[in-house]
Structure 1
């Protein structure tokens, strides 16, 4: 007879501090995005609504509650972003804004936060759907 092992899996969501940390991150991130000349054209619209969606998406992305899917269906983020010109330069700007927000709230000092940021770098690459334009 095989003895069952008791595994306690902690999601990145719980390891970073749950919704409280997500809320701080979103609040630190979006003012940077809206101030960035490269990103601003991609984020026209109500910042509060965009922040609300991000506060729902990130928990699910990190293994927490599936809040985003409950309201909007499967995330399918690449498909949802296809109407927007996401270039390598814009992906880099997005990551810079995110890195600065991580630093502002101290998430860059947390091993789970570093794993979270690593996942975001992968997502940024996947979201690219257009080449950079030469100026």
Structure 2
């Protein structure tokens, strides 16, 4: 089975962002691929139960949660990449957040900077490229943005 540790770090935010971040940082690819709907279902059940216990029940369906997840997975992916890789950590400090008006601006700026880093550091880039590319493809396949 898999571990549902995400519940301990869930914060007031978009459930889709929490799920995207969790799935990209804490779940092995084979588990994510093989149990995605089971993980989403478990998260959904615990989210609704916890919100109700706190006196703030939420009125969304599993299908609505799935759509929210699909809309936010790429942002969760970028946050995960920023925290999980040296190259990403190196370039994120050069992103000017004050110029952002939309979440998509972050992805665009990050992409430009990471592409430059790859050109400037070809050996280091080759060492981790396949894992990152696989994750990008998987997240894009899941995303509806």
Under a length normalisation based on structure 2, what TM-score does the superposition of the two structures give?
Answer: 0.28
More helix by share: 2
